[in-house]
């Protein structure tokens, strides 16, 4: 089973997302990032994107006191998302969720 999962992960090609996204990253960037603030995700996030820096490194953002800052920012983002108009989604043939923004005038 591990071999199958390894092969599947190795051949996986992610597709770009045309939906709003929020990224949280540690202020202390790992050397593997090569200075890329999106850690390679930018080409996959083609919709509106927000990025928030949290004190600490990649793992340190999940430890006190940094995790409280992360939780507060996540809470603010979720509250903001609940107050804005949400797009509707439709199921695609492969079971993925595709963004389908429906204009109110077309309903």
Structural contact between residues 57 and 51, judged by C-beta atoms closer than 8 angstroms: no
Phi, psi of 41 (to 5 degrees): -85, -20
Q: 43 or 90, which is more confident? A: 43
Q: 99 or 62, which is more confident? A: 62
Does the structure show a pLDDT above 90 at 65?
A: yes
DSSP annotation of 103: -
Does the structure show a pLDDT above 50 at 107?
A: no
**Predicted confidence band at 71 (pLDDT cuts at 50, 70, 90)?**
very high
What's the average model confidence in pLDDT over 64-91?
A: 82
What distance in Å separates the CA atoms of residue 57 and residue 74, rounded to the nearest whole number?
17
What is the DSSP secondary-structure string of 7-73? HHHHH--PPPB-S-EEEEEESS--GGGTT-TTTT-GGGB-S-EEEEEESS-TTGGGSTTHHHHHHHH
Choose among 6, 23, 29: nearest CA to 73.
23
Whole-number pLDDT of residue 64: 96
- pLDDT > 70 fraction of the chain, expressed in percent and rounded: 72
Does the structure show a pLDDT above 80 at 39?
A: no
């Amino acid at each position: 089973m591990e071999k199958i999962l390894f092969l599947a992960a190795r051949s996986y090609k992610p597709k770009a997302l045309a939906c709003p996204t929020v990224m949280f990253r540690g202020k202390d960037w790992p050397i593997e990032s090569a200075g890329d603030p999106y850690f390679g995700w930018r080409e996959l996030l083609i919709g509106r994107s927000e990025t928030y820096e949290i004190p600490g490194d990649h793992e340190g953002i999940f430890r006190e006191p940094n995790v409280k800052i992360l939780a507060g920012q996540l809470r603010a983002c979720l509250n903001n998302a609940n107050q804005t108009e949400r797009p509707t989604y439709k199921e695609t043939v492969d079971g993925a969720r595709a963004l389908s923004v429906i204009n109110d005038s077309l309903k």
